[in-house]
Chain A
Amino acid sequence: MAHNLADQMVEQFRIRNFCIIAHIDHGKSTLADRLLEQTGAISARDMREQVLDSMDLERERGITIKAQAVRLHHRGGDGRDYVINLIDTPGHVDFSYEVSRSLAACEGALLLADAAQGVQAQTLANAYLAINAGLEVIPALNKIDLPAADPERVTQELVGILGGSTSEVLALSAKTGEGVPALLDEVVRLVPPPAGDPEAPLRALVFDSYYDPYRGVVCYVRVVDGSLLAGDQIRFMATSESHTADEVGVLTPKAVPMQELGPGEVGYLITGVKEIGRIKVGDTVTHARRPAVQALPGYAEPKPMVFSGLFPTDGDDFERLREALEKLTLNDASLQYEPETSKALGFGFRLGFLGLLHMEIVRERLEREYGLDLVATAPSVAFRVHLTSGELREIRSPQDLPEPDYRTSIDEPYVKAMIITPAEYIGGVMELIQSRRGLEGSMHYLSPERVELTYQVPLSEVVFDFFDVLKSRTKGYASLDYEPSGYRPSDLVKVDVLLNSVPVDAFSSIVHRDKAAAYGKLMTERLRELIPRQLFDIPIQAAIGGRIIARETVKARRKDVLAKCYGGDITRKRKLLERQKEGKKRMKMVGSVEVPQEAFVAALRVDAD
């Protein structure tokens, strides 16, 4: 390791706090690698690609899920030593709240754009977040080494968003390292140093937290005013909980304890709290004896956008699922869950997710890290139902929709969807948005070739397969970002699916009336493919209330027998049948019908059309 400024706090004028923001895959984590190498934060031996992506899932999927802070030491062009706190953020829309949190701990943001792909939806969305948070935004091209790079065009696009002159746009390659050596000097030059009041009462923002099985909850903090010392009696202003600061320190990226974190510094705080729920990300830490009057602004909790039921295949695993969820939420405060009962699937939980990727990740972790075998039900958004009683009720599962007699209307969540597409595909994209009930469209040319479209679209139309379809209609060139924009009334109906005349709650869905017939047809056709033939005919129906809108039949199985079983075959044939029986364990009995678990997922998958 280069040098350790040891236990003393750093004066603010020698601190720079910045985060790297960009569209997904534009190279944030790879650039962070280069900076870690350059500053000696990580030895060549410990270096690996996207070293800050430390979770298994991040490494497997090659994406960042959780923001990571790291403290770097840099000798500036002026010969002075600087402490630079860098936060690498995720690019995927599901995790944009991580970006918001990171921004609140920084004075500057490095906005990367892939020099070949150009400005994409999350480039724009994250740029706006940074500007609105009052940060100095440094625009930079990345991947200028790519043969398809078009630096001039992308520079123009960045200038179009941020203003300024084209000469201010940096040109980098995180892969070859081109442009990187000068980058930190630019950060020192352009990002303002923190300007906290060292004499004021302590105010430190909790911008993230995670659970360590040995240490309990570890908070990431950004000290704004005053100083935080190890051993201080502290108070969390929002929760009013008081604790001792057992340990404070910085991440290099290893945790290194310090005596003190001064104003402007970024580091960690351990208080001995074991339950992550007791610490609120966005809270302000102050001193118990000399508390601050006003808390820092903090930020809104991420709101789950998508809900889905998770049920253990084996009913006996319910308690294990509960324990696994408790553990998982220790490190993922954005995950919400509550018990749910399904007639078809038994006892399970209704989970709230930030998006489909988040849902996929959670499910994968539960199955992999906790060895659970799970059935997931159709993802759904949360609706608001106006009851005849005047009450407004939020429902997160189609099963909870009150009968028509008890409700007057239903509101559904909308998002402001932003799409960036090459101009040649505008027609197809607009057609798609229209078919998804998009409203109030607007259009803006980023450059003669590329267009930004903004629409109000029901979340339910965007969150599932929209992106896949968008990609396929634009040969992969369009990108999408969206943010919640409130609720609007809609003509919605609940479509039930009946197997052998028994409604299967897990397949029910709330859809727009105009799409109910298509949905019913799709579901019944899919289920006919997915449900294996059984001993009797199985009618599959889709219905709105008592009215059948689609119908299919799984014909009874007629032949299920080995042609031969003679003396030489017995062991082999017996094993074969036993194996087939094992396979059947992945079936759920729904009434008298055996439904493969995959059917629950596959039937509800919304493919690109």
Chain B
Amino acid sequence: MPRSESTPTDWPDSPELADRAGGWTAAYVHIPFCSRLCPYCDFAVVTGREGDLDRYLFALGAEIDSEPAWKPLDSVYFGGGTPSLIDPTQLARVLEKLDRQFGLAADVEISLEANPEDWSPAKAVALREAGFTRVSFGAQSFEQRTLISLGRRHRPEQGEEAVASARAAGFRSVNLDLIYGSAGEDLARWTSSVERALGLGLDHLSCYGLTVEPGTALHRRVAAGAPAPDPDIQADQWETANALATDAGLVRYEVSNWARPGHTVRYNLAVWAQADFLGFGLSAHRFRGGIRSHNYRHFDTYLEAATAGVPVAGYEEVSGWDRELERLFLGLRRAAGVISGAGGAALGASPEGARLEEAGVIAFDQDRLRVRRPLLTDAASRAVLALPPP
């Protein structure tokens, strides 16, 4: 199926788009506040620290001010935590700072993560006025039982209402996050949840397999004998989601992401294309000039350090062969795959690469290397990361 010929260049899985993203400028802003800690969450979040919001925003501002100038931003992504907990005018001030420091491109995409629980039509309007063009709701499920097992407090209808009000407020792209594989969620329940999500006419859908991360309440539960997610059920669920999303006109462009043409997330595409990107806030990561660095993850330490102008807790130089392998490792997550290059050639020549090819996991197609069985991407990634320099 030589789709590339009939594919417009902004088709979600088009190689042109994937590669073009390497030239984009993107910035990530972390908002760590959450009203409660979800049992599976291992993000850098704080609860009950809303009193420190001003200090946090001040630290964030200091960080932005001290970042060396760059090109105007094509994309800004507010992640968390729960950015939607913050007053839109305060988010607007962060955007102003970014604009002052770097400039914002005329067609800039400004995205935020939101919780249906604290969403309202008024907030939608305010966020639009602040400049946001895209919203991503952590709906997680449209099944009450699943929501409970995930420790979420909102009702399924709140997810629907949130999408409707975002649409009404004029967001250009609306996304939902769903989580599959929580305890007791069978294929039927998952299917109905995905159908209900797609029924809302989404621009973008993210489906994540529930993962048991060390240090989380879920991890402790599983260690104490609660059932861990079953990889076979999760595989079925992923395949179902893929089929339903495709039927609904969405195109899978990454392991866990589907989009309508023109609605892929710029910030993520830039990261997967190994572009430079900026990061601000608690535990934020960035990649500039071959250096990947990250901020402190401990909230008070970050506040102090960022206010003093030294938020960076560590960095590593990614260069030479490592950089080449990382380029593959990141790019292989995309449906568009990655330009083979030296790393791809090494993989093709390795016994492990041959096994993966034989098993239909990877395929070389002219100058590109692709993962054909997305659910086995890590098998390919491990092989890539183990390749010795030529």
Please give the residue numbers on chain A whose beta carbons come within 8 Å of chain B beta carbons, in ascending order.
Answer: 535-536, 557-568, 570-571, 574, 577-578, 580-581, 584, 592
B112 to chain A, nearest CB (A): 15
Q: Out of B231, B326, B333, B361, name the residue touching A559 (CB < 8 Å).
A: B231
Bound-complex Cα distance A182 to B381 (A): 74
Query: Which residues in A have their C-beta under 8 angstroms from that of B355?
Result: 535, 592
A372 to B355, CA, bound (A): 29
Whether the Cβ atoms of B256 and A577 lie closer than 8 Å is no
Q: Is the CB of A571 within 8 A of B375?
A: no
- Report whether B28 and A557 are in contact in the complex, using a CB–CB cutoff of 8 Å: no
B12 close to A (CB within 8 Å) = no
Decide: B379 and A535 in contact? CB cutoff 8 A: yes
Q: How far is the CA of A187 from the CA of B301 in the complex (A)?
A: 75
Indicate if B208 sits at the interface (CB-CB under 8 A).
yes
Residue with the greatest number of chain A CB neighbours at <10 A, chosen from B44, B79, B378: B378
Decide if B277 is an interface residue (CB 8 Å cutoff): yes
Beyond the given A568-B284, A570-B330, A574-B326, could you list 7 further A-B residue pairs with CB under 8 A, ordered by the A residue number?
Answer: A557-B379, A562-B255, A564-B256, A567-B267, A567-B277, A568-B28, A577-B382
Q: Are B28 and A567 in contact (CB under 8 A)?
A: yes
Task: Evaluate contact between A559 and B375: CB separation under 8 angstroms.
Answer: yes
- Shortest CB-to-CB span from A574 to chain B, Å, is 6
Interface residues of B in 253-297 (CB under 8 A from A): 255-256, 267-268, 271, 277, 279, 283-287, 292, 294
Q: Which residues of chain A come closer than 8 Å to B353, judged between CB atoms? A: none
Task: Identify which of A562, A564, A565, A578 contacts B385 (C-beta below 8 A).
Answer: A578
Contacts of B231 in A (CB 8 A): 557-560
- Within 8 Å by CB of B256, from A558, A563, A571, A581, lies A563
Number of interface residues of B (CB under 8 A): 47
A570: which B residues are within 8 A, CB to CB? 271, 285, 287, 292, 326, 330
Interface centre among A557, A564, A578, A584 (most CB of B within 10 A): A564
Q: Are B28 and A560 in contact (CB under 8 A)?
A: no
Contact A574:B329 (CB < 8 A) given known A568-B294, A592-B355: yes
A-B pairs with lowest CB-CB distance, top 6 = A535-B359, A558-B235, A563-B208, A559-B235, A559-B231, A561-B377
Q: Tell me the B339-387 residues at the A interface (CB within 8 Å).
A: 355-356, 359, 361, 374-379, 381-383, 385-386
Docked-complex contact A558 and B375, CB < 8 angstroms: yes
Contact: B376 with A561, CB < 8 Å?
Answer: yes
In whole angstroms, what is the CA distance A535 to B284 when docked?
A: 36
**Is B119 interfacial (CB 8 A cutoff)?**
no
In the bound complex, CA of A565 to CA of B292 (Å): 15
Contact B375 A560 (CB under 8 A): yes
What's the nearest-Cβ distance from chain B to residue A564, in Å? 6
- CB nearest neighbor in B for A571: B292
**Which residues does chain A contribute within 8 Å of B376, judged by CB atoms?**
535, 557-561
Residue in B255, B356, B359 whose CB lies within 8 Å of A561: B255
Instruction: Give CA–CA (A578, B210) in the complex, Å.
Output: 22
Docked complex: B89-111 residues within 8 A CB-CB of A: none
A–B Cβ pairs within 8 angstroms, 8 of them: A559-B209, A561-B374, A567-B271, A568-B294, A571-B292, A580-B382, A581-B385, A584-B382
**B234 interface residue per 8 A CB criterion:** yes
* Contact in complex: B279, A567 (CB < 8 Å): yes
User: Total A-B pairs in contact (CB under 8 Å)?
Assistant: 100
B232 at the interface (CB under 8 A from A): yes
For residue B211, CB closer than 8 A to chain A, the reply is yes
B285 touches A568 (CB 8 A): yes
The chain B residues found within 8 Å of chain A, CB to CB, are 28, 30, 44, 79, 208-211, 231-232, 234-235, 238, 255-256, 267-268, 271, 277, 279, 283-287, 292, 294, 316, 326, 329-330, 333, 355-356, 359, 361, 374-379, 381-383, 385-386
Contacts of A558 in B (CB 8 A): 231-232, 235, 375-376
In the bound complex, residues from chain B placing their C-beta under 8 Å from that of A574 are 326, 329, 385
Q: In whole angstroms, what is the CA distance A512 to B37 when docked?
A: 60
Whole-angstrom distance between the alpha carbons of A563 and B40 in the complex? 13
A566, A578, A584: most-surrounded residue (chain B CB, <10 A): A566
Cα–Cα, bound, A358→B10 (Å): 69
Among residues of A, the one whose C-beta sits closest to the C-beta of B284 is A568
Q: How far is the CA of A536 from the CA of B358 in the complex (A)?
A: 10
Query: Which residues from chain A contact B279 at a C-beta distance below 8 Å?
Result: 567-568
A559 contacts B232, C-beta separation under 8 Å: yes
Establish whether residues B208 and A571, one from each chain, have CB atoms under 8 Å apart when the complex forms.
no
Q: Are A561 and B375 closer than 8 Å at their CB atoms?
A: yes
Within the complex, which residue of A536, A559, A577, A580 is in contact with B238, where a contact is CB–CB below 8 Å?
Answer: A559
Complex: A566 Cα to B284 Cα, angstroms? 11
Complex Cα–Cα for A570 and B294 (A): 11
Least Cβ distance of A570 to chain B in Å? 7
- Minimum CB–CB distance from A583 to chain B (whole Å) comes to 10
Shortest distance in angstroms between B257's beta carbon and chain A's nearest beta carbon? 10
What is the CA–CA distance of A535 and B375 in the complex, to the nearest angstrom? 11
Given contacts A558-B375, A559-B232, contact A581 B382 (CB under 8 A): yes
Taking CB atoms, residues of chain A closer than 8 Å to B283 are: 568
Q: Collect the chain B residues with CB atoms within 8 Å of residue A567's CB.
A: 28, 267-268, 271, 277, 279, 285-287
Residues of A within 8 A of B285 (CB): 567-568, 570-571
Please judge, given known A-B contacts A558-B231, A560-B375, A561-B255, whether A566 and B382 are in contact too, CB under 8 Å. no
B344 nearest CB across to chain A (Å): 17
Known A-B contacts A535-B361, A577-B329, A581-B386; A571 and B294 likewise in contact (beta carbons under 8 Å): yes
**Least Cβ distance of B367 to chain A in Å?**
23
Task: From A561, A566, A571, give the contact of B316 (CB < 8 A).
Answer: A571
**Max chain A CB contacts within 10 Å: which of B28, B283, B356, B382?**
B382
Is B268 touching A560 in the complex (CB atoms < 8 A)?
no
Which residue from chain B places its CB closest to the CB of A533 in the assembled complex? B231
> Which chain A residue has the least Cβ–Cβ distance from B374?
A561
Task: Tell me the bound Cα distance from A564 to B255 in angstroms.
Answer: 8
**Bound complex: CA A358 to CA B356 (Å):** 42
User: In the complex, which of the residues A565, A567, A581 has the most CB atoms of chain B within 10 Å of its own CB atom?
Assistant: A567
Q: Among B209, B316, B361, B381, which residue has its beta carbon within 8 angstroms of that of A563?
A: B209
**Cβ contact of B268, chosen from A559, A566, A577, cutoff 8 A:** A566
Q: In whole Å, how far is B140's beta carbon from the nearest beta carbon of chain A?
A: 13
Shortest CB–CB separation between residue B275 and chain A, in angstroms? 10
* Contact partners of A559 in chain B: CB under 8 A: 209, 231-232, 234-235, 238, 375-376
B276 to chain A, nearest CB (A): 11
Q: Kindly list chain A residues whose C-beta atoms are within 8 Å of the C-beta of B256.
A: 563-564
Closest Cβ of chain B to A561, distance in Å, is 4
**Residues of chain B lying within 8 A (CB to CB) of residue A561:** 209, 255, 374-378
